[in-house]
Amino acid sequence: MQPLPDVQALRSAHDYRLTRVGVTGIRKPVQVKRAQGSRTLVALLDAFVDLPGQQRGIHMSRNVEAINEAIDHAVQQPVRGIEDLAAGIATDLLKRHDYATIAEVAVEADFFLERTQPSGQKSLEPYSLVASAKAQRGQGVRRSIGALVTGINACPCAMETARKLLEERGIHREGPNITHNQRNRVLLMLETGEAHGVDAEDIIGVAEEGLSAPTYEILKRGDEARLVIRAHERPRFVEDVVREVLSGVVAKWPTLPDDTLVMVRSEAEESIHKHNAFAERVTTLGELRAPAR
């Protein structure tokens, strides 16, 4: 049998180079190392390389092979985190595509942590992890790790205006007052030049602490009331949530380098509106540490 034709290796009709070529939406189970042994996460992966102008196409099956080998290897040797999985795949992609100068990999996965209520009730809470890696030939790998955390925020503005209006009706209120509160999704991502040992659980912890309160799958009546009181004692705008998380990042990772990229986002599914409220800061750790920040 003669070899099959290699259409991808042909010269392209228009010799524009391409920024990213690859595969999206690959779903795979991944073994991740945890304190109490390995755990299976279901990951959704994208993997890309760049392509010079002269070559018609990439061999996309190599991207899937790089993913599969990394995942097979993780069965024997669970990865420390999905950002390390991404970094391993990105490095391997540059070996498989010798014409490429950059490889990028993105990973998302559901993640669970056990949380304990004041009453002692335990529950396994769901989070989303997001990670990526970008390998440049001859320049190492930048990697990011982040988490999307769902909690509650209570509005400080409506609390004060409602206090005022109730006062006018002769109802005097001190302490935590009624306001609108809602589901709030916080995204915190850190991107570093090398592996710096940022732990996904710490990311979740810092993000969750920025909210008016964390939320739980199970709340018996006493715990539910305590959570409501706590959220109303810490009323926060989306702007406040982002700033609290920024402050937490500066305190939590004093040894991370100044060029660490930081992205914090809070989106509130406003209970009094049909649209969302949103705040975001994209910056570096160096800027956050400076006096004018």
Q: What is the largest CA-CA distance in the chain?
A: 93
- 81's tokens: 């985190």
The least CB distance from residue 167 to its own copies, in Å, is 9
Indicate the residue among 195 and 239 with the shorter CB distance to its own copies. Answer: 239
Among all chains, which residue has been given the structure tokens 């992966």?
45
Q: Is 40 in the site for its own copies (CB under 8 A)?
A: yes
CA angle 268, 272, 274 (to 5 degrees): 70
Alpha carbon 100 to its chain's center: 27
Hey, which residues between 1 and 20 contact its own copies (CB under 8 A)? 1-2, 4-8, 12-20
Report residue 165: phi and psi, to 5°. Answer: -65, -40
Indicate the residue among 177 and 260 with the shorter CB distance to its own copies. Answer: 177
Hey, which residues between 247 and 266 contact its own copies (CB under 8 A)? 247
Element (H, E) at 110: strand 102-116
Among 216, 256, 260, 285, binds its own copies (CB under 8 A): 216
Mark 127-166 with x for binding to its own copies (rule: CB under 8 A) and - for no binding: -----------------------x-x---xxx-xxx-xxx
What does DSSP assign to residue 121? -
Indicate the residue among 14 and 98 with the shorter CB distance to its own copies. Answer: 14
3-state secondary structure of 204: helix
The least CB distance from residue 257 to its own copies, in Å, is 19
- Quick check: 182 and 271 in contact, CB under 8 A? yes
Q: Is 290 in the site for its own copies (CB under 8 A)?
A: no
Q: Is 282 in the site for its own copies (CB under 8 A)?
A: yes
